[in-house]
Amino acid sequence: MVSFADQLLVLVMLINFIMLGSSRLAFAIRAVAVQGVVLGIIPGLLHPFSGHLLAITVSIILAKGMVIPYLINDAVRKAQIRREVEPFLGYVPTLLLGAVFTALAFVFAQKLPLAPEHRDLLFVPASIATLMTGFLILTTRKKAISQVIGYLVLENGIFIFGLLLAEAMPFMVEAGALLDLLVGIFVMGIVINHISREFSSVDTSRLQALREE
Amino acid sequence: MPSTLFHILLLLLMPPLLLGVINKTKAAFAGRVGAPCLQPYYDLAKLLRKGSVFSSTTTWVFRAGPVVTLAATLVAALLVPLGNHPAIISFNGDMILFAYLFGLARFFTTSAALDTGSAFEGMGAAREVTFACLVEPTLFFILITLARMSKSLSLTPMLLYPSPAVWGEAGAAMLLLVGALFIALLAENCRIPFDDPTTHLELTMIHEVMVLDHSGPAFGLILYGAALKLFVLGAVFVNLALPFKSGNLLVDWAAFAAAMLFLAVLVGVVESVMARLRLVRIPQLLVAATILSAFAMLLIVR
């Protein structure tokens, strides 16, 4: 089962690359939803079956795979965004940067003082690589929605790291983290609506220009 | 010995059949009957019987182009194991020779195109070389990954190494390699997402534009060389993707031939369901393939 979880983590890292390279917003949202579902499956594979585990798995898949993507899609519709992602950096440079960061994540994970049973697993490198991808998306994209997606990917990275401890982590902590995320997305949605109403666009680079009225 | 003979026979006779199967698949998708699967053989026979016309502005480079290209591809074909049978020529480090024989072939094709002095063919040559630069890292990442997995620098042990056990153990990396190799195969052979092999007068084509001035037997050699290149890269792909080893010689050869035909059908399906990419999007896809193969290497080296 552990090797199957490793394959799923490879899939998660591939989705990172897809998100870095895709120019369509709707496609990126769907990719993040798929990533969420894959991440939801992993804890179910790793730990012995229990009601607690089932609740976590189901709630993660529901939140990450359905509710949050739905909310983002809703924000996209309300702010009437067309389709482009509009990066500061081109797609190919971000893809290459993503690849370099992934490679560095593997190097870095090997240097970390990990427990011997975690050393050969993909969890730590995958978590760092996903974190870095989230950072990249957050910093290189102009549209506020793409930045929300970057934030989600960042959170997914943290979640992968938490998977190693999933059994030790009480359900309430996990639920609290998910709730935080949900509230974050709500706030972001409201902010995006405001930005789009004030500037008639959600291009965050316009926020740098001061103007008086 | 019979295996060696069979290897050479298959190598010489099968490549045009692949083109025929691809065209048949495309015709089936479009709801047409299509040309018979053996049509490329008839075309080749027709071209070889014709006379050649050489422009007076061309030099020996133009005449050498098709011959050197075909010769280099043939030598490369001898380095690749087919089915479960080791390659005819094999030595330590032949993967570098394999990669650069294709480089030599491409150098002479593009030189011959430039030799005509036509601006149109020069444009095709420039595109071909640009995209080749982007495919090469993919090919090398794949070869390096395989070399690392099989701990050998020769193509025969490298390509015969994948087995069901290897797939079970390093399935993710193998899948990435196969995906990257398929993209590289389509790009190297100028198939549809990158280039349309059936167009003949468009500004967006790459390979076809370079061979417009060739005629008769020279053009026949080019067509045959292109088919052979598809066959060789296809053999590499089949060796990776189908780790089937029965031990029985005949069964292995039959499985290999069937897999090659299936690959041709697969290429035909891809060509039918996809449109050609815009030229500016092609580097993006090629870089993605490079990243896939680099990622596979990362998973293996770790």
What is this model's ipTM?
Answer: 0.73
The yes-or-no verdict on residue B111 having pLDDT over 90 is yes
Cβ <8 Å between A106 and B171: no
Cβ <8 Å between A95 and B298: no
B172 → closest Cβ in A7, A96, A102: A7
B242: closest CA of chain A, how far (Å): 20
The pLDDT of residue A213: 59
As a residue count, chain A comes to 213
The pLDDT of residue A145: 78
- SS3 of chain A: the string is CHHHHHHHHHHHHHHHHHHHHCCEHHHHHHHHHHHHHHHHHHHHHHCCCCHHHHHHHHHHHHHHHHHHHHHHHHHHHHHCCCCECCECCCHHHHHHHHHHHHHHHHHHHHHCCCCHHHHCCCHHHHHHHHHHHHHHHHHHECEHHHHHHHHHHHHHHHHHHHHCCCCCCCHHHHHHHHHHHHHHHHHHHHHHHHHHHHHCCCEHHHHHCCCCC
For chain A, what is the mean pLDDT?
80
Give the Cα separation of B85 and B87 in Å (integer). 7
Residues of B with CB under 8 A from a CB of A: 169, 171-172, 176, 283-284, 287-288, 291-292, 294-295, 298-299, 302
Mean pLDDT, residues A148-163: 84
Please say whether the dihedral angle defined by the alpha carbons of residues B189, B191, B195 and B200, taken in this order, is positive or negative. Answer: positive
Cβ <8 Å between B172 and A95: no
For chain B, what is the mean pLDDT?
89
The pLDDT of residue B42: 94
Least confident of A193-202, B18-27, B161-170: A193-202
Cβ <8 Å between A99 and B302: no
CB A121 within 8 A of CB A109: no
Give contacts of B172 with chain A, Cβ < 8 Å.
6-7, 10-11
Give contacts of A125 with chain B, Cβ < 8 Å.
302
The yes-or-no verdict on residue A194 having pLDDT over 70 is yes
The pLDDT of residue B200: 65
Give the Cα separation of B13 and B16 in Å (integer). 7
The yes-or-no verdict on residue B264 having pLDDT over 90 is yes
Cβ <8 Å between A91 and B284: yes
The pLDDT of residue A191: 76
The pLDDT of residue A84: 61
Highest mean pLDDT among A60-64, A196-200, B20-24, B54-58: B20-24
Q: Which long-range contacts (CB under 8 A, 24 or more apart) does A190-194 make?
A: A191/A144, A192/A75, A192/A79, A192/A144, A192/A145, A192/A148, A193/A75, A193/A78, A193/A79
Least confident of A157-166, B13-22, B48-57: A157-166
Cβ <8 Å between A95 and B283: no
Output A153 or A186, whichever has higher pLDDT. Answer: A153
B190: closest CA of chain A, how far (Å): 22
The pLDDT of residue B50: 93
Look-up: residue for tokens 């049973």?
A: A117
**Tens digit of each residue's pLDDT (9 = 90 or more) over B214-234:** 888 999 999 999 999 999 999
A96 → closest Cβ in B171, B287, B292: B287
Mean pLDDT, residues B20-42: 92
The pLDDT of residue B159: 87
Mean pLDDT, residues B57-79: 93
The pLDDT of residue A210: 66
Tell me the pTM.
Answer: 0.86
Choose from B176, B278, B295 for mutation: most chain A CBs within 10 A: B295
> pLDDT grade, residue A173 (50/70/90)?
low
The yes-or-no verdict on residue A39 having pLDDT over 70 is yes
Cβ <8 Å between A125 and B291: no
The values of phi and psi at residue B57, to 5°, are -85, -10
Closest-CA residue of A relative to B171 is: A7
Give the number of A-B residue pairs with CB atoms closer than 8 Å. Answer: 40
Cβ <8 Å between A91 and B295: no
Give contacts of B289 with chain A, Cβ < 8 Å.
none
State percent of chain B over pLDDT 70.
Answer: 98
The pLDDT of residue B302: 76
Cβ <8 Å between B287 and A102: no
**Tens digit of each residue's pLDDT (9 = 90 or more) over A82-125:** 656 667 888 888 888 999 999 999 989 888 887 777 777 888 89
> pLDDT grade, residue A202 (50/70/90)?
low
B294 → closest Cβ in A7, A92, A99: A99
A40: closest CA of chain B, how far (Å): 19
Cβ <8 Å between B287 and A106: no
The pLDDT of residue B203: 64
CB within 8 A of B58, min separation 6: which ones? B115, B116, B117, B213
